[in-house]
Chain A
Amino acid sequence: MGNENKLINGWLMLHIALCLTFIFAPIAGSFVFSLNSDRFPSLPLGEFSLDWYRAIWNDPLVWSGFGNTVIVGLIVAVIATILGFGGAYTDYRYNFFGKSFYLALALLPPTIPVVIMGLAMLAFLSRIQLSGSTISVVIAHGVMCSPFAMAIIRLRLSQMDPDLEAAAWNLGGNEWATLRHVIIPFTRPAIFAALFITMAVSFDEFAVAWFVSGLNETLPVKILGFLQGQVSPRINAIGSLAFLSTMTLIVLAQLLLRNPNEGSK
């Protein structure tokens, strides 16, 4: 550009570094605290210890919460991805009266504050005798996760050559066959990415789950309980493990999206 100023550039890079420090300080802190013997970590840090991991390993409540989280996450991922696929294909392929209403309904849930979603879900689900069950968490998370699945798959569909579908029809494939042999193979990486991402979103969602789950608490709801009770570094240990498993899902999703030709023929 010929209009660079080392001082300003250096200052800007420092600013990026500060922002990243601020964003990642609590995440890194949680890792460090989880491996620290102190109940109230401060400077200087206490000794290295695995006590908090041992504590959660031996806590049956943590295990039941973990079980609920995994079950809910798996079911939600499948439901949200199926719903999202249908929505994405509908948006890609069709124009119809009320399409903007359809899209708004499909994509708006993440913008509604979670306390309001939680209250609305609780009031509605308890009216139809479903609140306090694992199903109610699945229903609520299905609403909240399907927009993410839809966005991911829609993005992939927009990379598809529009002639591809037409070619399949010309070759005598009906819509179902085209869906099965052209569309689904083409979007397969995005479908898997959507499965992983929606599972990750469900794993971390605590607010709506807290409102509707009753006694069948998921792990994040348990953490909320720990927060309300006494200070407990067990949160750091759970958080660190949850972070590692979520990151595994994200990296898998990322790898799938980066090599879009793998997995499809």
Chain B
Amino acid sequence: MMKRPSLFSLVLAMPLLVWQLAFFLFPLLFLIAISFWTVKMFQMQPDLSFANWQRILTRGVFWDAYLRTMILATSAAVLTSAIAFPASYAISFKLSERAKRWMIFVLIIPFFTSYLVRVYSWQVFLTDAGIINAALGHIGLGPYPMLNNTFGTLVGMVTLCLPLVILLQTFSLNFVNRDLIEAAHNLRCGRLRTVASVVVPSAKVGLVIAALFAFILSFGDFVSPLYLGGGNPPTLSIMITDITKSGQQWPRAAVVAIMMIATLMTVAFAAITYAYKERGK
């Protein structure tokens, strides 16, 4: 209809474009650039040096952290999805419309509570002398170490991801055609088999995307690994905060950050390809 963009359209479209180019895309590109810079006398200097890349990528510490972060984020994604699914299924199929709306509102609340405060609260629950171990002590169990280990980290990550994953799963289950389930029942398909071979495949895209979001959030989270997992040995995000806050070695932190983004993009691409792949191929 319009050949040349009108002044009107530019006034509306440009501010966001300019802001995100200048303050979102450009800083990320700048991150790539500084990964090739050198640090002399505590000052970053433009350069084209592969020293930072070499230094990070040849260290066992980095690859240990990489593997650890991958395992943690994958576990968190699988665990959260598994915990969330029965809840999402029940919300989508068993609750009235009114109860569903309420449940969605309740699940949005955690997004607006401080994640830091929740993690601190978990610390109080999980310490050796904390609420949970005291309760277990009354029935003659424990104390179990639940803080400064993988268990603690995963509690934090599931806390971060669970509301979002339940919401995303519920939305995708809401789109599952109810007639298909009725048909499966009429064909004497058992309850569990109906879920496994009718419900899950129909909602596959949403379920995979939900797990992907859990992976992304857990992969980049530094709060749970640090304050519930003890921070030692570090994950990749802890490495970035450590390197950045302890001095001027930002180029090395940039290398770690780029490796993280590359990993996330690969995982996201693989997950989305898998999600949209037709069944039976």
Residues of A within 8 A of B (CB): 1, 3, 5, 8-9, 12-13, 15-16, 19-20, 22-27, 29-30, 33, 40-43, 79, 82-87, 89-90, 93-94, 96, 102, 105-106, 108-109, 111-125, 127, 139-140, 142-143, 146, 150, 175-176, 179, 200-201, 204, 206-207, 211, 220, 223-224, 227, 231, 235-236, 238-239, 242-243, 246-247, 249-250, 254
Partner of B19, one of A3, A83, A201, A249: A83
Across-interface contacts of A43 in B (CB, < 8 A): 131, 134-135, 138
In this assembly, does B70 line the interface, its C-beta being within 8 Å of a C-beta of chain A?
Answer: no
Contact between A86 and B120, CB atoms less than 8 A apart: no
Contact between B121 and A115, CB atoms less than 8 A apart: no
CB-CB under 8 A for A119 and B83, given A26-B122, A43-B134: no
B258 to chain A, nearest CB (A): 9
Contact between A112 and B261, CB atoms less than 8 A apart: yes
Q: A19-B166, A116-B220, A235-B120 are in contact. List 17 more A-B contacts (CB 8 A).
A: A12-B86, A23-B163, A26-B125, A30-B117, A41-B130, A42-B131, A86-B14, A109-B20, A119-B244, A123-B250, A124-B26, A140-B23, A150-B16, A200-B112, A211-B244, A235-B117, A239-B113
Across-interface contacts of B162 in A (CB, < 8 A): 19, 22-23
Q: How far is A249 from B109 in the complex, measured between Cα atoms in Å?
A: 11
B157 to chain A, nearest CB (A): 12
28 contacts between A and B (CB under 8 A): A8-B191, A16-B91, A27-B118, A40-B124, A43-B131, A43-B134, A43-B138, A85-B12, A89-B12, A90-B12, A90-B13, A106-B16, A106-B17, A112-B220, A113-B264, A114-B220, A116-B257, A116-B261, A119-B254, A120-B31, A142-B23, A206-B116, A239-B114, A242-B117, A243-B113, A243-B114, A249-B112, A254-B105
Output the nearest chain A residue to B250 by Cβ-Cβ distance: A123
Across-interface contacts of A15 in B (CB, < 8 A): 86-87, 90
A12 to chain B, nearest CB (A): 4
Using an 8 Å CB-CB cutoff, how does the interface string of B248-268 with A read, 1 for contact, 0 for none?
A: 001001100100110010000
Contact between A27 and B86, CB atoms less than 8 A apart: no
Across-interface contacts of A121 in B (CB, < 8 A): 23, 27
B1-37 CB contacts (< 8 Å) to partner A: 5-6, 8-9, 11-17, 19-21, 23-28, 30-31, 34
CB-CB under 8 A for A250 and B34, given A19-B166, A41-B124, A106-B20: no
In this assembly, does B240 line the interface, its C-beta being within 8 Å of a C-beta of chain A?
Answer: yes
In this assembly, does B158 line the interface, its C-beta being within 8 Å of a C-beta of chain A?
Answer: yes
Q: How far is A250 from B23 in the complex, measured between Cα atoms in Å?
A: 27
Across-interface contacts of B115 in A (CB, < 8 A): 204, 206
B19 to chain A, nearest CB (A): 6
Provide the main secondary structure of the chain B interface: helix
Provide the main secondary structure of the chain A interface: helix
Contact between B216 and A113, CB atoms less than 8 A apart: yes
Contact between B117 and A239, CB atoms less than 8 A apart: yes
Across-interface contacts of A140 in B (CB, < 8 A): 23
CB-CB under 8 A for A115 and B240, given A12-B89, A12-B90, A15-B86: yes
In this assembly, does B127 line the interface, its C-beta being within 8 Å of a C-beta of chain A?
Answer: yes
Q: How far is A93 from B114 in the complex, measured between Cα atoms in Å?
A: 36
CB-CB under 8 A for A16 and B90, given A112-B261, A204-B113: yes
Contact between B237 and A42, CB atoms less than 8 A apart: no
Partner of B16, one of A41, A87, A94, A227: A87
